[in-house]
Amino acid sequence: MEKKLYVGNLPYSTKESDLEEMFSQAGTVESAVLIKDRNSGRSKGFGFVEMSSQAEAEEAIRMFNEFELEGRALRVNIARPKEDSGGPRRRQGSRRHDDREKY
């Protein structure tokens, strides 16, 4: 089992320091990161917490999965590894000028 946790359904008002303080009740928090929108800088309502051991991660899941925070039931589970997309993204249907057929 991993020690990095996904924390979802967070209130948008949650700060990284709030997340770190809350999860420190289950053990030592190595990092707490909220995912934010690139344009607005506002929280997307989820983040990641890394605990210092697997046992502490399990305790955090037990303590905080479905825990109600500001009227929202948190979702806490082991974070899945980031999937490799295979390279830079390309938008469907977009073509560069040089790729167009010439008449």
Residue 92 located in a structural domain: no
Task: Write out pLDDT tens, residues 50-97.
Answer: 999 999 999 999 999 999 999 999 999 999 987 755 555 555 555 555
Euclidean distance between CA atoms 94 and 28, whole angstroms = 47
Q: Residue 85 domain-assigned?
A: no
* Containing structural domain, residue 16: 4-78
User: For the chain, what is the domain count?
Assistant: 1
- pLDDT tens readout for residues 4-14: 999 999 999 99
Residue 50 lies in a domain: yes
Instruction: Flag whether 90 is in a domain.
Output: no
Q: β-strands 29-36, 43-51: how paired?
A: antiparallel
Residue 95 lies in a domain: no
Closest CA to 60 of 72, 73, 51, 70: 51
